[in-house]
């Protein structure tokens, strides 16, 4: 079976071939060849970023500084992403293994085209990226005579390297660094979208499983649920059930409904670990407690588990079989599967947090400066140079747009799962134990899962619209004051 994670691993392999980063190596240690090769992209991107930003700082012309700054900003972002992925390489592959486990466990509810949107976005981004690099290099090679001080992008060079003897060496290094920088940026964008889509599709499949589970259960005659919330019997509540009160006193005293989105993060040893799975040992229907499991007290990982980068990564997820009418067993499997999905989201969001912050900050700054530079240089540059720069800005806009759409889909899939649990007409009468399990599942899904860059940038369509509005407003102000 073709897994979504296999496509992400193929992207890592292609990235390693183009940038020599070696991110595709999944073992505990990398071969000596790849460990040495990592220094090449790290050195090239770091020198490009520092050389370009040094030129910006020492440039005597504000127009020249603004025109050169986008390249250094993106090269700096690529360097930070590369260092981050180097440090988290084993954790990254552990997350991909967990994604495979979740995908296999929810395979019963899969449908054709679950990952088609991701594949389309991947194809479009690859096409635009290759087109941008090709047009940029063509514009450079055809625009003027190849000699100093005409370089691919401005850099501050020592006096001994500015002559014609070192020109082709510097030019070759700049071209290689540009390809590596674009590759690293695109690799993280694809990983970020791929991991978010893996969680989104898993939540969509769990939503399908809820309807199939209830459909397979034969409703029994008798009284209604008793003290189970009436809104879950016949119709969906207003606002997706977010404003509804819990009718089970023992649970209502412990759990409060919240509409705050869930931002996955690592928890400390002293924090409680919430689990939607409920024990079967109930002696008194009115006494319900939440299990608390400190992360530091986790048992030793068995053969199918790994401890990667200080993070306990379990790769097992309860498989969701075809419902056979056993509602209790179905709810138990559903709770376990959702817990695995949430753990996958926690690890993925923690991995992508820092690069997400630099990604949004760098793209916003590039668009903020680039739009003004494009308008200012449209009268003096050739059509090929102007077109390559506009395509460069379009690429960064599409990058941010693709990530934002993926983030919105992640949030929407979580809200759809919560709404499905709330709106489902559960069989009646429902024992108190199953009432509690359903309520805990509803409470667990009321906070939609989302990725974020340390809480500053949240990849979603609302964030994209806010950033574009800010860029447009600032651009209009600069034009009006004549800068």
Q: Is the pLDDT of residue 235 over 60?
A: no
Where does the pLDDT of residue 282 fall: very low under 50, low under 70, confident under 90, or very high at 90 and above? very low
Which helix (H) or strand (E) covers residue 44, if one does? helix 39-58
Q: Do 224 and 203 contact (CB within 8 A), yes or no?
A: no
Identify any residues that bridge with 314 across adjacent strands, giving them in sequence order: 305
Q: State the pLDDT at residue 13.
A: 93
Least confident of 225-234, 259-268, 347-356: 225-234
Where does residue 202 fall: left (phi above 0), alpha (psi -120 to 50 degrees), or beta otherwise? alpha
Residue 95's pLDDT is 93
Instruction: Say what percent of the chain tops pLDDT 70.
Output: 75
Q: Read off the pLDDT of residues 2-20 as tens digits, 9 standing for 90 and up.
A: 578 889 999 999 999 999 8
Residue 325: predicted pLDDT: 64
Strand partners, 312: 307
Q: What is the percent of the chain with per-residue pLDDT over 90, rounded to a whole number?
A: 24
Could you tell me the pLDDT band of residue 200, with boundaries at 50, 70 and 90?
very high
229: its two tokens: 């919330």
Q: What is the pLDDT of residue 277?
A: 41
Q: What's residue 344's pLDDT?
A: 92
Q: How far apart are CA 319 and CA 142, in angstroms?
A: 58
Model confidence pLDDT, tens digit, residues 437-474: 788 888 888 887 888 888 888 888 888 898 888 888 87
What mean pLDDT do residues 238-263 have?
Answer: 44
Give the H/E segment covering residue 9: helix 4-19
Neighbours of 383 (CB within 10 A): 9
Predicted TM-score (pTM) of this structure:
0.77
Q: pLDDT tens-digit profile of 52-82?
A: 999 988 887 788 888 888 899 999 999 999 9
Q: How far is CA 333 from CA 105, 107, 217, in A?
A: 10, 14, 15
User: For the residues of 294-359, what is the DSSP string, one character each?
Assistant: -GGGPPPP-TTEEEETTEEEE----------S-HHHHHHHHHHHHHHHHHHHHHHHHHHHHHHHHH
Q: State pLDDT tens for residues 119-173.
A: 888 888 888 888 888 888 888 888 767 787 788 888 888 888 888 888 889 988 9
Nearest 5 degrees, angle CA 256-CA 257-CA 261? 120
pLDDT (0 to 100) of residue 423? 83
Q: How much is the mean pLDDT over the chain? A: 76
Q: Is the pLDDT of residue 251 over 60?
A: no
């Amino acid at each position: 079976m073709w897994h979504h994670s296999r496509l992400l691993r193929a992207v890592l392999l292609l990235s390693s071939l183009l940038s020599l980063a070696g991110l595709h190596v999944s073992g505990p240690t990398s071969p000596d060849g790849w460990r040495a090769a990592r220094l090449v992209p790290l050195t090239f991107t770091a020198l490009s970023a520092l050389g370009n930003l040094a030129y910006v700082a020492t440039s005597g012309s504000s127009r020249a500084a603004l025109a050169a700054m986008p390249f250094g900003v993106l090269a700096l972002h690529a360097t930070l992403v590369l260092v981050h992925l180097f440090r988290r390489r084993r954790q990254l592959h552990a997350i991909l293994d967990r994604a495979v486990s979740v995908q296999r466990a929810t395979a019963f509810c899969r449908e054709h085209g679950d990952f088609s949107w991701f594949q389309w976005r991947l194809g479009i981004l690859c096409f635009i990226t290759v087109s941008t690099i090709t047009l940029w290099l063509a514009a450079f090679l055809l625009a003027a005579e190849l000699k100093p001080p005409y370089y691919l992008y401005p850099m501050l060079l020592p006096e001994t390297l500015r002559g014609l003897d070192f020109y082709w060496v510097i030019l070759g290094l700049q071209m290689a660094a540009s390809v590596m920088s674009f590759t690293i940026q695109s690799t993280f964008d694809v990983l970020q979208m791929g991991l978010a889509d893996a969680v989104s599709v898993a939540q969509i499949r769990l939503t399908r499983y809820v309807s199939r589970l209830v459909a397979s259960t034969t409703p029994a005659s008798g009284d209604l649920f008793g003290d189970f919330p009436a809104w879950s019997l016949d119709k969906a509540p207003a606002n997706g059930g977010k404003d509804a009160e819990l009718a089970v006193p023992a649970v209502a005293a412990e759990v409060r409904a919240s509409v705050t989105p869930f931002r996955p993060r690592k928890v400390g040893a002293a924090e409680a670990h919430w689990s939607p799975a409920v024990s079967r040992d109930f002696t008194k229907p009115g006494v319900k407690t939440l299990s608390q499991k400190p992360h530091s007290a986790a048992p030793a990982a068995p053969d199918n588990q790994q401890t990667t980068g200080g993070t306990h990564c379990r790769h097992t997820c309860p498989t969701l079989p075809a419902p056979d009418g056993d509602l209790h067993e179905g709810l138990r499997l559903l709770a376990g599967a959702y817990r695995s999905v949430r753990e996958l989201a926690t690890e993925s969001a923690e991995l992508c947090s820092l690069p997400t912050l630099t990604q949004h900050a760098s793209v916003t700054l590039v668009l903020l400066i680039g739009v003004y530079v494009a308008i200012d240089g449209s009268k003096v540059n050739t059509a090929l140079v102007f077109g390559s720069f506009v395509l460069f800005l379009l690429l960064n806009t599409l990058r941010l747009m693709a990530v934002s759409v993926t983030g919105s889909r992640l949030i929407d899939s979580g809200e759809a799962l919560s709404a499905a649990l709330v709106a489902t007409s559960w069989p009646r009468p429902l024992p108190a134990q199953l009432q509690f399990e359903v309520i805990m599942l509803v409470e667990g899904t009321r906070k939609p899962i989302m990725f974020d860059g340390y809480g500053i940038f949240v990849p979603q369509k609302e964030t994209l619209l806010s950033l574009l509005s800010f860029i447009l407003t600032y651009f209009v102000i600069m034009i009006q004051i004549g800068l």
